[in-house]
């Protein structure tokens, strides 16, 4: 037992755990020490990719009914002195087993290799530096940094927890997130109540924290109950199941026919030997030898080809599902658009200020004259609130692994060029609290100390933000009342900007004496900020290509309906007039009670706007109810349930959270929409090829069965001897069809 292992770490104080694990809370482990520890522990991995042993693969081959039928036929041949036949059948069995063995082996090893590429990365602190490493390389004593959306990759004793909440459903079955803290708990506390621990396989749903690794791999709680080991049972694809069923039916059919033929022959007084030979011939004729092998090999090849195109598939069966997909529910930001935002303009009560697009972020009024935040109090306030009310930090953009929300980075950048850098602002107005962005509320807030009082900075979707505002900032610096009429005129301005495809946020603030006050109430509206997020160049072409492939593309977005409509139009969604469904209408959707007519209406919709996370799940269910095979893209923690529910969940490899990637069946390593199209086309081709091959094989087998069965039924001698059938099968079934099954796109039906 390595000396760093700990009994009941949750019952020890933070200091004790740090001391016992011989680590440093500020700097983490020394990289050399981490390396050494890695040598004395197993890699941090559950044995979920149980390596298939050679014997197991060989054993699998002999589980097939077809093999047993052939073995029986060979046995009969030997018993009745037909040695040539017996040897030929045995030879066929061996050749088949050989091909099957190597294809299975290759498929199994390919899967293992692909699983490794998909391994999760984790942020740790080592030698005083924060870095992303492979979760496999984590060792006890490492300090892991946790943020919203992270999957926990080892069992951690928490040493810091800021509003940290975890989803532990995978471990405890409890779907409501649990709050975490750092205070130790009693030794006999049940797993689900160990508030100072974060367990491997669980996910951060809110807040942030740091934890000390106390157990890795199979020593973790989840390793112990080996949940994943069970759930990662061999993945039998629906296609394989269908082929297996087909094999069984053929065996029964041929046995039935053989029994009939032999019975009829014996009644007619035919030679018993001849009848047995016929039975063997029928048995041999019914076997589609190469079919399962070819199917598995095609799927495995497809998986590799897709991974070469940056689409990582984590289950063989998903290759098939991809080919059968009929609708793609896609998000907007980052998938259809670049997710590279820049601030285009600010809208104030009686003025607009445009931002130069040249990177210097010069400000101009509508007459084209320069405007300075030094002279325009509202512009200064807007820049300041945009920089303060932010979960991103300046400098994030240089750290690829840790890039913040591009929208917030754009707000920081524009403020910085106006000499309102976030770090300077925060040193004057220290942040005491952050109310993280909540997609249900569609706003976020930060609270700052300000000269003995508090400044609350708020940004969010204009519809919600305007409801929380009571006043509006005027050009003189005073505030005026905001009533329902003025609110609706602001909503009109919001809609106008959205129609230009801009993403719009409202900025608001208030000064209060109580830092605990509700941030979303009685605010002063400063104005709207409009951001450009250009559509990706390659998207319209990819969408056009997909429409031709009979796959509909439907947009699901949290953004304003007008922004969504404009982007959807540019991307080429829908045919002709776009049908958009929005917010309140979506709230009424109910999978259980929806009428056929309403369902048909939903199915015709091209864009669902202001979609809340739980509505995504409902929409996936509705599309499935209507008989669609649904692919769904997503990146956030909130997308995970819908990604799981979809027939194929597609997560973004670069900007996606680990939780989303874990829930998905396909991970796009380049986050590009055309990659989905390419993978789908590949899936369709593979599906088509396997079907072609199956039809070809079946037609060969059925014609042989008919020739033999009919002849014997009519009292004629067996037209084809078992040896001849075997020869035919080897030639027609084992060599000729390969190009059919592994061919490129040209073979698509």
Smallest distance from the beta carbon of 459 to ligand ATP, in angstroms?
5
Q: Cα separation of 413 and 612, whole Å?
A: 29
Contact string (CB under 6 A) for ligand ATP, positions 514-553, x = contact: ----------------------------------------
Q: What are the start-end ranges of the H helices in 572-721?
A: 583-587, 596-603, 613-625, 640-645, 658-663, 673-713
Cα–Cα distance, 157 to 689 (Å, whole number): 52
Near ligand ATP by CB under 6 A: residue from 405, 434, 562, 647:
405
Q: How far is the CB of 533 from ligand ATP (least distance, A)?
A: 8
State which residue, 439 or 572, has the beta carbon closest to ligand ATP.
Answer: 439
Asked if 331 is an active-site residue, the reply is yes
- Residues in 559-578 that interact with ligand ATP by CB under 6 A: 559
Full DSSP string of 128-146: TEEEEEEGGG--TT-EEEE
* Selected range binding ligand ATP among 220-228, 330-338, 393-401, 615-623, rule: CB under 6 A: 330-338
Cα separation, 668 vs 652, in Å, equals 5
By CB under 6 A, the residues from 9 to 48 that bind ligand ATP are none
For ligand ATP, the closer of residues 200 and 645 by Cβ is 645
Q: Which of 75, 404, 439, 743 binds ligand ATP (CB under 6 A)?
A: 439
If binding is defined by CB under 6 A, does position 557 make contact with ligand ATP?
A: yes
Tokens of 258: 């053989």
Q: DSSP label at 100?
A: H
Residue 437 binds to ligand ATP (criterion: CB under 6 A): yes
Q: How far is the CB of 344 from ligand ATP (least distance, A)?
A: 15
CA end-to-end span of the chain: 59
What's the min distance (Å) between Cβ of 609 and ligand ATP?
9
How far is the C-alpha of 12 from the C-alpha of 28, rounded, in Å?
19
Answer for the pair 221, 451: CB distance below 8 angstroms, yes or no.
Answer: no
Minimum distance between the CB of residue 614 and ligand ATP, rounded to whole angstroms?
Answer: 12
Cα–Cα distance, 211 to 197 (Å, whole number) = 8
What single DSSP character describes residue 370? B
| 459 binds ligand ATP per the rule CB under 6 A | yes
Instruction: State yes or no: residue 634 binds ligand ATP (CB under 6 A).
Output: no
CB 110 within 8 A of CB 304: yes
Confirm or reject binding of residue 687 to ligand ATP (CB under 6 A): no
- Of 27-35, 326-334, 687-695, 739-747, the segment contacting ligand ATP by CB under 6 A is 326-334
In DSSP terms, which residues pair with 608 in a beta bridge?
556, 581
How far is residue 539's CA from residue 543's CA, in Å, rounded to a whole number?
A: 6
- Give the DSSP letter string of 410-467: HHHHHHHHTT--HHHHHHHS-EEEEEEEETTTTEEEEEEEETTEEEEEEEE-HHHHHH
User: Which of 46, 148, 328, 461 lies at the binding interface for ligand ATP (CB under 6 A)?
Assistant: 461
Annotated catalytic residue: which of 331, 559, 562, 635?
Answer: 331
Q: Which of 285, 389 has the CB closer to ligand ATP?
A: 389
Choosing from 217, 223, 460, 737, the residue that interacts with ligand ATP (CB under 6 A) is 460
Q: Which of the ranges 232-240, 307-315, 415-423, 438-446 carries the binding residues for ligand ATP, by CB under 6 A?
A: 438-446
Per rule CB under 6 A, count of chain residues that contact ligand ATP: 17
CB of 203 to ligand ATP, least distance (A): 18
The residues near 736 (Cβ < 8 Å, ≥ 6 apart) are none
> Which listed residue (328, 355, 379, 444) binds ligand ATP by CB under 6 A?
444
Round to whole Å and give the CA distance between 350 and 115.
57
Binding site for ligand ATP (CB under 6 A): 331-333, 405, 408, 437, 439, 442-444, 459-461, 505, 557-559
- Catalytic residue ranges: 331
């Amino acid at each position: 037992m390595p000396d760093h292992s700990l009994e009941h770490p949750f019952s020890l104080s933070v200091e004790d755990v740090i001391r016992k694990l011989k680590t440093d809370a500020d700097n983490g482990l020394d990289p050399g020490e981490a390396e050494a520890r890695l040598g004395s522990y197993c890699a941090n991995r559950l044995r979920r990719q149980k390596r298939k042993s050679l014997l197991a693969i060989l054993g699998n081959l002999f589980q097939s009914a077809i093999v047993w039928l052939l073995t029986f036929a060979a046995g009969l041949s030997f018993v009745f002195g037909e040695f040539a036949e017996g040897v030929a059948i045995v030879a066929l069995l061996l050749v088949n087993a050989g091909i099957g063995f190597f294809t299975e082996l290759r498929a199994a090893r390919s899967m293992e290799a692909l699983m490794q590429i998909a391994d999760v990365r984790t942020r740790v602190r080592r030698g005083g530096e924060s870095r992303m490493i492979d979760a496999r390389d984590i060792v006890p004593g490492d300090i892991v940094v946790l943020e919203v959306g992270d999957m926990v990759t080892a069992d951690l004793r928490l040493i810091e927890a800021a509003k940290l909440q975890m989803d532990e459903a995978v471990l405890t079955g409890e779907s409501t997130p649990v709050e975490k803290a750092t205070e130790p708990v009693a030794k006999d506390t049940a797993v689900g109540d160990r508030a100072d621990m974060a367990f491997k396989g669980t996910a951060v749903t809110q807040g942030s924290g740091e934890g000390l690794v106390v157990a890795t791999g199979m020593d973790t709680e989840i390793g112990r109950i080996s949940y994943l080991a069970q759930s990662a049972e061999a993945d039998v694809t629906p296609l394989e199941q269908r082929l297996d069923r087909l094999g069984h039916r053929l065996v029964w059919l041929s046995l039935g026919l053989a029994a009939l033929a032999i019975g009829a022959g014996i009644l007619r007084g035919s030679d018993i030997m001849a009848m047995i030979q016929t039975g063997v011939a029928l048995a041999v004729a019914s076997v589609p030898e190469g079919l399962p092998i070819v199917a598995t090999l095609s799927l495995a090849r497809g998986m590799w080809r897709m991974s070469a195109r940056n689409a990582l598939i984590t289950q063989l069966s998903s290759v098939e599902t991809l080919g059968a997909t009929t609708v793609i529910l896609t998000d907007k930001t980052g998938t259809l658009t670049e997710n590279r935002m820049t601030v285009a303009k600010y809208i104030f009560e009686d003025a607009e200020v445009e931002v130069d697009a040249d990177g210097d972020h010069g400000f101009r009024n509508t007459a084209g004259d320069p405007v300075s935040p030094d002279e325009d109090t509202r512009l200064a306030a807007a820049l300041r609130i945009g920089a303060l009310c932010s979960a991103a930090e300046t400098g994030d953009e240089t750290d690829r692994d840790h890039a913040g929300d591009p929208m917030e980075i754009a707000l920081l950048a524009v403020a910085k060029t106006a000499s309102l850098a976030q770090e300077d602002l925060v040193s004057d107005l220290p942040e005491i609290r952050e109310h993280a962005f909540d997609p249900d509320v569609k706003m976020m807030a930060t609270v700052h100390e300000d000269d003995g009082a508090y400044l609350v900075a708020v940004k969010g979707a204009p519809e919600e933000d305007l409801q929380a505002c009571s006043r509006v900032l005027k050009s003189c610096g005073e505030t005026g009342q905001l009533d329902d009429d003025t609110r609706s005129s602001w909503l009109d301005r919001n809609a106008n900007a959205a129609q230009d495809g801009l993403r719009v946020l409202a900025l608001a603030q208030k000064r209060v004496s109580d830092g605990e006050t509700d941030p979303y109430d009685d605010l002063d509206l400063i104005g709207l900020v409009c951001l450009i997020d250009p559509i990706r160049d390659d998207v319209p072409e990819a969408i056009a290509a997909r429409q031709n492939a009979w796959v509909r593309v439907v947009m699901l977005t949290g953004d304003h309906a007008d922004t969504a409509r404009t982007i959807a139009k540019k991307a080429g969604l829908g045919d002709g007039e776009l049908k958009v469904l929005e917010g309140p209408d979506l709230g009424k959707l109910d999978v259980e009670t929806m009428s056929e007519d309403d369902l048909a209406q939903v199915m015709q919709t091209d864009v669902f706007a202001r979609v809340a996370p739980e509505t995504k799940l409902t929409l996936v269910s509705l599309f499935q109810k209507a008989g669609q095979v649904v692919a769904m893209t997503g990146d956030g923690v909130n997308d995970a349930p819908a990604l799981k529910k979809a027939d194929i969940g597609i997560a973004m490899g670069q900007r996606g959270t680990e939780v989303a990637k874990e829930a998905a069946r396909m991970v796009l390593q380049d986050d590009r929409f055309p990659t989905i199209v390419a993978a789908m086309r590949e899936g369709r081709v593979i599906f088509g090829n396997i079907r072609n091959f199956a039809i070809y094989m079946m037609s060969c087998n059925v014609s042989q069965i008919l020739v033999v069965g009919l002849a014997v039924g009519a009292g004629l001698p067996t037209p084809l001897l078992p040896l001849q059938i075997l020869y035919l099968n080897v030639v027609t079934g084992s060599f000729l069809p390969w190009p059919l099954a592994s061919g490129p796109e040209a073979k698509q039906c």
